[in-house]
Structure 1
Amino acid sequence: MADDSTRLAVLIDADNTSAKLIKEMFEELASYGTITVKRAYGDWTNPHLNGWRDVLLGNAISPQQQFAYTYGKNATDSALIIDAMDLLYSGNVDGFAIVSSDSDFTPLATRLRESGKRVIGVGQRKTPKAFVEACERFLFLEVLAAEGKGTTEEAKEDQQPRPIQSVLSKALNKVDTDDDDWATLSALGNHLNRTDPSFDPRNYGFGKLSDLVKAQPFIETKTEVGSGGRGHLSVRLKGRRAAEEAPASKPAKKATTRSTAKKSAAKAARKVAAKVQGEPE
């Protein structure tokens, strides 16, 4: 998450995005910084975009008119990309939110990140993986819709993209830990977002990552209170320490076996010597 000093430009591909969840989207993006630019691109003469009128006015979004010069070609994409590059070189924003489910914006997201800017994608689950991966963070509109209506058990099942045990176990095996294998929740969250920009606890029916990990039977958690009185949550996989310590007992077992073998060999040698000397065993 970003602080209020982070300036964001929100660029919306209206031809490719529904106007129904714009309010929820802006509420979500507000947690990443201060939104200083809000623009929506489309051919506003097209009746298909009539539903945007009240949304544009109610959210102070500046409509950018772009006529479709050639049938079958999306001129809106080009206009959005040109404006994004102008904003990049102006130096007036720190990050971009690109609202679209179109993979054509993949090169743009890549270019903006190469310039050190934050890129947050917003789109539907049908968004091609290439565009999702090109963003630092990707928010699914379906998640925002489910959160607004209240997530049902059916919605939770529909939202789960990957088995959560596999996701969290792999992440905890990669993050930095202390000597007892405890990792901080923030380190886990950062790793998850780096490896999967679309990772969101709400995909699994939880509002926060802390609630998600606490609910998993294969994870241990502990809370430590810092000097400022604020609690810090740490997590680790259950049974990891026991599994790592188990091999340490094997050498002792081997040593016992070797000692027994030596005693048996010594006893056999004494028997042989006694026979040679004609002494009773």
Structure 2
Amino acid sequence: MIHDDTGRSVALYWDFENLHAGLLEAKQGEGAYANPDIRFRPQEPLVDVQALVDLASSFGPIAINRAFGNWQYFSRYRDALLQNAIELIQLFPPGASTKNGADIRLCLDATEDLARFAHIGTVIVIGGDSDFMPLAQKIKAAGRRLIGVGTRPNTNRHWARSCHEFRYYESLVGVEAAGSASPSDAEGSRATGKTP
């Protein structure tokens, strides 16, 4: 049973580099972000930070707003991140071609926060990895509402279905990628609240 969220707070967790990479690949082609000449240089801002913060605010006051990534290449997002009081967690990848481990750290932080803060009623995870499915089970077991956000091409459908509600980034900002599913499919893939 989900608690009544009236007057309860929102915890917002961003797998920021994952979202940015998905948007960059939608623009430059699949696999583009894996190219070191693209990945390891200052990144053009592609994420509409304000739109995602506004979405989170629609569910209640934001108590936790934490983004995970390798921030050394994302300085052009500085103003948007500062204006929205986002706590930045720096994760250096252990090698040139390896992941930064943001999904693991995000899951650990969110699980710890659920145990510590009873006022959190809604958890929003921005990221499309299937790695978040165990976190979905923990959030549901704690009686909290889970909202997922991800890009269409990079979102695992099982993760999307494991959320109480799922929003596609492209629908939130009013941009559809070429060859993507219809807008009605975005709302149609909204989670049922049932664990798969």
TM over 0.5: yes
Determine the structure 2 residue equivalent to 1:133: 161
Alignment CA distance shift 1:117-1:30 (3 Å): same
Which blocks of at least 5 consecutive residues in structure 1 are unaligned? 168-191, 198-281
What value does the CA root-mean-square deviation take over the aligned residues? Answer: 3.0
| Structure with the largest fraction of helix | 1
- Write the deviation string for residues 37-66 of structure 1: whole angstroms up to 9, x where unpaired: 101101112x2x233322211211010111
State the AA in 1 paired with 2:185: P
Match of 2:71, SS? Answer: coil
Determine the structure 1 residue equivalent to 2:192: 195
Which blocks of at least 5 consecutive residues in structure 2 are unaligned? 21-45
Answer with 19-28 or 76-85: which moved more: 19-28
2:108 aligned with 1:106, yes or no?
no
Equivalent residues, number? 161
- Write the deviation string for residues 136-163 of structure 1: whole angstroms up to 9, x where unpaired: 11111111121xx7x9xx9xx842329x
Shift of 1:99: 0.5
2:184 aligned with 1:160, yes or no?
yes
Structure number with greater CO (CA < 8 Å, separation at least 6) is: 2
Determine the structure 2 residue equivalent to 1:11: 13
Query: C-alpha distance in 2, partners of 1:194/1:143?
Result: 16
Query: C-alpha distance in 2, partners of 1:73/1:23?
Result: 26
State the AA in 1 paired with 2:170: E
Alignment CA distance shift 1:194-1:56 (3 Å): closer
- TM-score using structure 1 length: 0.51
Rg (Cα) greater in structure: 1
Determine the structure 1 residue equivalent to 2:89: 64
2:170 aligned with 1:142, yes or no?
yes
Q: Percent identity?
A: 29
Query: C-alpha distance in 2, partners of 1:133/1:27?
Result: 23
2:62 aligned with 1:38, yes or no?
no
- TM-score using structure 2 length: 0.71
Match of 1:68, SS? Answer: coil
Contact 1:21 1:141 in 2 (8 A): no
Query: C-alpha distance in 2, partners of 1:73/1:193?
Result: 28
Shift of 1:89: 0.8
